[in-house]
């Protein structure tokens, strides 16, 4: 992923490593200091490397997810297209013959590898020769020259159709159809062509690859390849007509041939001449590969956004480690400075030591990241499969690109080295005498004049820049610029008020702004950017932790009675709180790790709860009481709707709303792409869908029925759903009622400008139920408007059905499909689809929670490192306490309580902020439109998360606490280490 980042990242990393190498070569004293510390502290080094490994693993894992899912979508090009780059679909057989003749000269074009003409029709199939008969209503019956098909598209991948044409009475099936019918070579089956049954014997089964897996837009196509002339004969016998298709293969491989799409498409249109009005030119390969890139980038960015919080936690772990290293070596560093060691060389020593930790963690981090990415992608693919209309979602195709591995490793190293360098520069500033005497740093220094001037100037600039950002509701800048202005004003505030008051005021203002910015500027969440959520979560966590850290004495007042008790427990409580209060920076940085990760985990938990609480309302909004969507083949001759209106099933259907269907192309009203979007054009009868709800309506249309009435009387109006033209990531608000799009009939080229009259809360009832790719978006018009623009192409091929009271939608669906197999009927219970999609979304959030749990592991690791260092740093203090009569159990209890105190505060802060942030998003983000089940607080899952987090933290601190309890007083008091 992100090939554009590779060179800048490698260049930045190369500069940093060259600088470190120069320090190591030119300054042997610095090199020896760093090497000595590496050799002395193996346990702590292992913990630091663990944090670095996890940070790199999260980055690499997110990038591998993008690679794998992008590759999985690209496999659709191999499975369903192979050498096919363009597809010319004719309106009738006569037009098909004329089109094929006009395109024949293209075979000599150097950019074209081959042409192939075929006929295809929608069919159904059944196998009654098994213990339990099985049927498949979605079948494509093909008639083509299999010898020519096997040679089609030289160099563009296997077609899957090797072998001779089947003799009369026999048929070639592809693997998906053979699996659906539970059949194989030599077995009899029945094909329903144009509504009539024809008996065949399976000649052979071919793989789902290339032409053998090809279709008209589906992700899984169940194909039957008939003997020469069989489809023509069936059409002559029944009066049916097949579609004529000419397939074009560009020069090059399956993916490289796509680069010639625009050039070859233009030549096809030129060659068609006057027949262009009778044929639609499709570019399926370009569509599939574009979707692959968008899917991979969007999902990789989503997981990278989720992983960003863990990456921040990993950087904080490194910062915390080096601050503690400096504290432990304070006297040593003071002596080195006293004998003439420059501050720059001190920084170099720490930087070399930290770089060694970071480099040691790179390769293990990359390896673990690949494994994590594979696991996430496998689970994600199962979830995406359940998102599809017919369960034919992504098949996992694990892929890792060198670019992603290099990007992940380089980004992990750059973040680690930047954190180490910044921390080293900060800790090198100490008072030499205070360091030698091991005196505490003097608080409350007045800021230097240069710092005061620069920070104040930057604060003013940020405040000025925030004004236009707020006016335009620019999401990232709306949150970031005011917060930076407040933070940069802190040095000036410290001139006029105490340090604690200044810091508390700034943190409170930033936290208040973070939580209320979406109220002041309600559109900040209507953006596809992932960065805004990282900024929001980080600002909330950091500001809340600073506010709490600066006012711990206030928060601990309710515990004073326990802390002041003259008992061993009271002593343990005093010891447990004294150290975190004295070391605010390291306590705060550890708390931030917990707060960040728990905040996002709670946010994902709450979003899942909101969705689960909204299922029934979402089903009602999507269906307006209709319980089934019925799709069938109108070429079968008889309408299945007659059975529901006046036939034997009439008593089981309370209402039937036939839908007029056509295939179209539309421009993107959100202006995200200039490519035409494949659309399922749906014509709704007057008054049939007035109860289906809208998220937004055109001004002047006061309610939902008014929108549907306007659609019936104004042919220029259309309605779409929230996901029209969606390319992944947050949906955002790219279009609104009043925006326009151009709707085109791809067969005749007739185009019309349409105005969006409403945006559906849920358009699920209008998505085609015929296995089409998820890149086909519904555009809903009035029935007359569809008939006027699309003419004969528009056919009644689907309907919405409201079952009668007491009738099970699932039972009626089974009856319809069994009774109208010859019409390729598919009946879909709409409410069941809503529940399935909501369950898939919930599973996806669970997956992201699992990915984010790696960040929680970093936080727990960080707390363990802090406790290990705390025991070593307080070795002499522990010895004095033990010599004065403090019990070993009290020492152990104090360390456990200290870790529990830090973990509990961070967890509680994250939980509260997670609930508040989700509530604000629920109120202001368009992504929650249509989820009207209320805002539940998931007390059970949140309490479980908090309990597990605190318990794991106590477990991480148990080892250091026991080690502290076993320290011998005499040795601890007399020996410095």
- pLDDT for 581: 83
- pLDDT reading at 443 higher than 70: no
User: What is the distance between the alpha carbons of residues 756 and 738, in angstroms, rounded to a whole number?
Assistant: 5
pLDDT for the residue numbered 391: 47
The per-residue pLDDT for range 831-853, each reduced to its tens digit, is 887 777 777 777 777 888 887 78
Q: Are residues 118 and 224 in the same domain?
A: yes
Q: Are residues 545 and 596 in the same domain?
A: no
Regarding whether 775 and 735 lie in a shared domain, the answer is yes
One domain for residues 477 and 409 = no
For residue 965, is it within any domain?
A: yes
SS3 letters for 475-544? Answer: HHHHHHHHHHHHHHCHHHHHHHCCHHHHHHHHHHHHHHHHHHHHHHCCCCCCCCCCHHHHHHHHHHHHHH
pLDDT computed for residue 966 by the predictor: 86
Which of the two residues, 391 and 261, has the higher pLDDT score? Answer: 261
Task: Identify the weakest region by mean pLDDT among 138-152, 175-189, 835-849.
Answer: 835-849
If asked whether residues 308 and 368 sit together in one domain, one would say yes
Instruction: Classify strands 279-282 and 196-206 as parallel, antiparallel or unpaired.
Output: unpaired
Mark whether 719 and 644 lie in a shared domain.
yes
Give the CA dihedral 827, 828, 831, 837, nearest 10 degrees: 180
Q: Which tokens is 372 given?
A: 């994590």
Instruction: Tell me, yes or no, whether 449 lies in a domain.
Output: no
CB 214 within 8 A of CB 79: no
Question: Which tokens belong to 65?
Answer: 């997810």
The dihedral over CA atoms of 5, 11, 15, 20, expressed in degrees to the nearest 10, equals: 70
Annotate 71-89 with three-state secondary structure.
Answer: HHHHHHHHHHCCCCCEEEE
- State the average pLDDT over residues 314-328: 73
Q: How far are the Cα atoms of 805, 858, 860, 921 from residue 943, in angstroms, in the given order?
A: 42, 21, 18, 22
The residue out of 282, 309, 329 marking a domain boundary is: 282
pLDDT for the residue numbered 437: 67
Torsions phi, psi for 192 (to 5 deg): -100, 105
Whether 401 and 291 map to the same domain: the answer is: yes
> Is residue 962 a contact partner of residue 867, using CB atoms and an 8 Å limit?
no
User: What percent of the chain is predicted at pLDDT more than 70?
Assistant: 93
In a domain, 809, yes or no: yes
- Shared domain check, 303 and 218: no
424 and 461 fall within a common domain: no
Residue 450 lies in a domain: no
Per residue in 587-626, pLDDT (tens digit) is 888 888 889 889 988 988 898 888 888 777 777 777 778 8
- Label residue 290 by pLDDT band (50, 70, 90): confident
DSSP 216-229: SSBSS--EEEPPTT
Number of domains comprising the chain: 5
**Band of pLDDT at residue 974, cut at 50, 70 and 90:** low
Q: Output phi, psi for 964, to 5 deg.
A: -65, -40
Residue 444's alpha-carbon distances to 7, 257, 734, 977, in angstroms, are: 44, 68, 50, 32
Instruction: Assess whether pLDDT exceeds 80 at residue 334.
Output: no
Please say if the pLDDT value at position 729 is more than 60: no
Q: Is residue 546 part of a domain?
A: yes
Residues forming a β-bridge with 796: 660
Residue 747: predicted pLDDT: 80
Asked whether residue 779 is assigned to any structural domain, the reply reads yes
Q: Which among 631, 629, 628 is positioned nearest to 137, based on CA atoms? A: 631
Say if residue 591 is in the same domain as residue 645.
Answer: no
pLDDT at 190: 93
Asked whether the predicted pLDDT for residue 903 surpasses 60, the reply is yes
**pLDDT at 911 (0 to 100):** 94
Has residue 951 been placed in a domain? yes
Q: Which residue has the higher pLDDT, 306 or 700?
A: 700
Is the same domain home to 906 and 960? yes
Last residue within a domain, chosen from 282, 312, 343: 282
Which range is least confidently modeled, 47-61, 385-399, 822-836? 385-399
The CA distance from 610 to 255, in Å, is 41
Q: What is the pLDDT of residue 720?
A: 93
Q: Which residue has the tokens 């297209």?
A: 81
Find which of 503-517, 688-702, 732-746 is predicted with most confidence, using mean pLDDT. Answer: 503-517
Q: Determine the structural domain holding residue 382 and report its residue range.
A: 1-79+287-442
Last residue of a domain, one of 247, 282, 317: 282
Instruction: Say which residues have a Cβ less than 8 Å from residue 381's Cβ, sequence separation at least 6.
Output: 69, 72, 393, 394, 395, 396
What is the rounded average pLDDT of the residues 354-364? 86
For residue 739, is pLDDT > 50?
A: yes
Within 13 A of 758's CA, how many CA atoms are on the CB side? 24
Residue 973 has a pLDDT of 66
Asked if residue 574 has pLDDT above 90, the reply is no
DSSP state, 737? Answer: B
Residue 91 confidence (pLDDT): 67
C-alpha 142/C-alpha 226 separation (Å) is 6
pLDDT of residue 683: 94
Give the rounded percent of residues in the chain with a pLDDT score beyond 90: 24
Asked if 62 contacts 304 with a C-beta cutoff of 8 angstroms, the reply is: yes
- Between 701 and 426, residue with greater pLDDT: 701
Question: Residues 262, 264, 270, CA angle at the centre, nearest 5°?
Answer: 105
| Element at 5 (helix H, strand E) | helix 3-26
- Please report how many Cα atoms fall inside a 13 Å half-sphere around the Cα of residue 234, on the Cβ side: 30
Structure tokens at 713: 């009387």
pLDDT tens figures, 193-249: 988 899 999 999 999 888 888 888 777 889 999 999 999 899 888 888 888 999 999
If asked whether residues 797 and 652 sit together in one domain, one would say yes
- pLDDT band per the 50, 70, 90 thresholds, residue 465: very high
pLDDT digits (tens, 9 = 90+) for 749-805: 889 999 999 998 888 888 876 544 456 889 999 999 999 999 888 999 899 999 998
pLDDT of residue 388: 55
- What is the average pLDDT across 538-546? 93
Mean pLDDT, all residues of the chain: 84
- Buried (b) or exposed (e) across 144-169, using 16+ Cβ within 10 A? bebebbbebbeebbbbbbeeebbeee
Residue 251 lies in a domain: yes
């Amino acid at each position: 992923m992100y090939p554009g980042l590779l060179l800048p990242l490698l260049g930045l990393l190369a500069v940093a490593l060259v600088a470190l190498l120069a320090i190591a070569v030119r300054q042997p004293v610095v090199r020896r200091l760093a090497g000595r510390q590496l050799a002395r502290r193996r346990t702590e080094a292992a913990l630091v490397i663990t944090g670095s490994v996890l940070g790199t693993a999260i980055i690499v894992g997110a990038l591998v997810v993008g690679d794998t899912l992008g590759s999985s979508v690209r496999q659709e090009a191999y499975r369903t297209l192979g050498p096919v780059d363009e597809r010319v679909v004719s309106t009738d057989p006569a037009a098909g013959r004329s089109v094929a003749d006009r395109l024949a000269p293209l075979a000599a074009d150097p950019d074209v590898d081959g042409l192939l003409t075929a006929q295809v029709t929608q069919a159904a199939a059944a196998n009654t020769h098994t213990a339990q008969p099985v049927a498949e209503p979605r079948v494509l019956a093909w008639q083509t020259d299999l010898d020519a098909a096997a040679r089609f598209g030289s160099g563009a991948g296997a077609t899957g159709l090797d072998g001779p044409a089947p003799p009369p009475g026999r048929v070639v099936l592809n693997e998906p159809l053979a699996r659906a019918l539970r059949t194989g070579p030599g077995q009899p089956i029945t094909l329903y062509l144009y509504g009539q049954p024809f008996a065949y014997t399976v000649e052979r089964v071919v793989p789902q690859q290339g032409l053998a897996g090809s279709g008209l837009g589906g992700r899984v196509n169940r194909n039957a390849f008939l003997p020469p002339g069989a489809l023509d004969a069936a059409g002559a016998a029944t009066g049916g007509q097949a579609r004529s298709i000419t397939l074009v293969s560009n020069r090059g491989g399956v993916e490289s041939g796509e680069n010639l799409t625009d050039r070859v498409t233009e030549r096809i249109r030129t060659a068609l001449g006057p027949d262009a009005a009778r044929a639609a030119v499709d570019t399926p390969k370009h569509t599939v590969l574009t979707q692959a890139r968008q899917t991979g980038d969007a999902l990789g960015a989503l997981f990278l956004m989720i992983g960003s919080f863990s990456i921040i936690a990993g950087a904080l772990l490194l910062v915390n480690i080096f601050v503690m290293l400096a504290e432990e070596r304070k006297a040593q560093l003071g002596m080195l400075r006293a004998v003439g060691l420059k501050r720059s060389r001190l920084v170099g020593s720490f930087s070399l030591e930290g770089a060694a930790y970071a480099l040691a963690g790179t390769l293990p981090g990359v390896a673990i990241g690949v494994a994590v990415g594979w696991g996430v992608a496998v689970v994600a693919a199962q979830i995406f499969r359940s998102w599809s209309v017919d369960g034919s979602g992504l098949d996992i195709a694990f892929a890792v690109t060198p670019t992603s591995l290099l990007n992940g490793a380089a980004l992990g190293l750059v973040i680690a080295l930047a954190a180490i360098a910044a921390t080293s520069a900060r800790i090198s500033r100490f008072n030499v005498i205070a360091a030698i005497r091991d005196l505490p740093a003097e608080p409350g220094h007045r800021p230097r004049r240069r710092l005061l001037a620069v920070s104040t100037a930057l604060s003013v600039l940020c405040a000025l820049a925030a004004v236009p950002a707020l006016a335009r509701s620019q999401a990232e800048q709306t949150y970031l610029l005011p917060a930076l202005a407040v933070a940069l004003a802190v040095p000036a505030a410290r001139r006029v008020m105490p340090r604690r008051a200044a810091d508390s005021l700034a943190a409170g203002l930033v936290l208040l702004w973070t939580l209320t910015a979406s109220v002041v500027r309600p559109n900040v969440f209507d953006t596809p950017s992932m960065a805004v959520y990282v900024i929001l979560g980080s600002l909330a966590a950091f500001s809340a932790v600073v506010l709490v850290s600066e006012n711990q004495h206030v928060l601990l007042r309710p515990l004073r009675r326990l802390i002041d008790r003259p008992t061993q427990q009271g002593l343990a409580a005093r010891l447990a709180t004294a150290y975190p209060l004295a070391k605010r920076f390291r306590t705060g940085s550890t708390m931030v790790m917990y707060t960040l990760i728990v905040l996002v985990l709670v946010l994902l938990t709450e979003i899942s709860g909101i969705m689960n609480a909204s299922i029934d309302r979402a089903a009602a909004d999507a269906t307006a009481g209709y319980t089934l969507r019925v799709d069938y083949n109108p070429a079968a001759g008889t309408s299945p709707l007659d059975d529901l209106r006046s036939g034997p099933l009439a008593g089981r259907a309370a209402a039937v709303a036939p839908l007029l269907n056509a295939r179209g192309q539309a421009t993107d009203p959100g202006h995200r792409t200039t490519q035409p979007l494949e659309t399922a054009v749906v014509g709704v009868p007057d008054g049939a869908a007035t109860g289906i709800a809208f998220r937004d309506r055109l001004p002047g249309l006061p309610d939902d029925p008014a929108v549907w009435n306007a659609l019936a009387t104004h042919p220029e109006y259309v309605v779409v759903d929230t996901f029209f033209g969606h390319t992944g990531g947050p949906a955002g608000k790219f279009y609104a009622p009043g925006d326009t799009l151009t709707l085109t009939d791809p067969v005749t080229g007739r185009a019309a400008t349409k105005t969006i009259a409403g945006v559906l809360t849920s358009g699920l009832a209008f998505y085609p139920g015929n296995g089409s790719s998820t890149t086909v978006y519904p555009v809903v018009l009035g029935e007359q408007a569809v008939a006027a623009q699309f003419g004969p192409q528009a056919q009644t091929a689907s309907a919405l059905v409201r079952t009668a009271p007491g009738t099970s939608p699932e039972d009626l669906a089974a009856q319809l499909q069994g009774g109208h197999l010859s019409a390729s009927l598919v009946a879909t219970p709409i409410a069941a689809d809503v529940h399935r999609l909501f369950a898939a979304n919930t599973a996806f959030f669970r997956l992201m929670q699992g990915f984010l749990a790696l960040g929680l592991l970093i936080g727990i690791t960080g707390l363990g490192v802090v406790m290990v260092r705390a025991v070593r740093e307080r070795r002499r203090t522990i010895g004095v306490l033990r010599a004065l009569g403090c019990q070993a159990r009290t020492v152990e209890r104090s360390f456990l309580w200290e870790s529990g105190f830090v973990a509990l505060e961070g967890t509680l802060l994250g939980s509260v902020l997670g609930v508040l942030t989700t509530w604000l998003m629920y109120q202001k983000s368009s992504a929650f439109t249509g989820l009207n089940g209320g805002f539940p607080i998931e007390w059970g899952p949140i309490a479980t998360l908090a309990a597990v987090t605190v318990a794991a933290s106590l477990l991480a601190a148990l080892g250091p606490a026991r080690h502290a309890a076993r320290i011998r007083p005499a040795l601890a008091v007399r020996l410095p280490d």
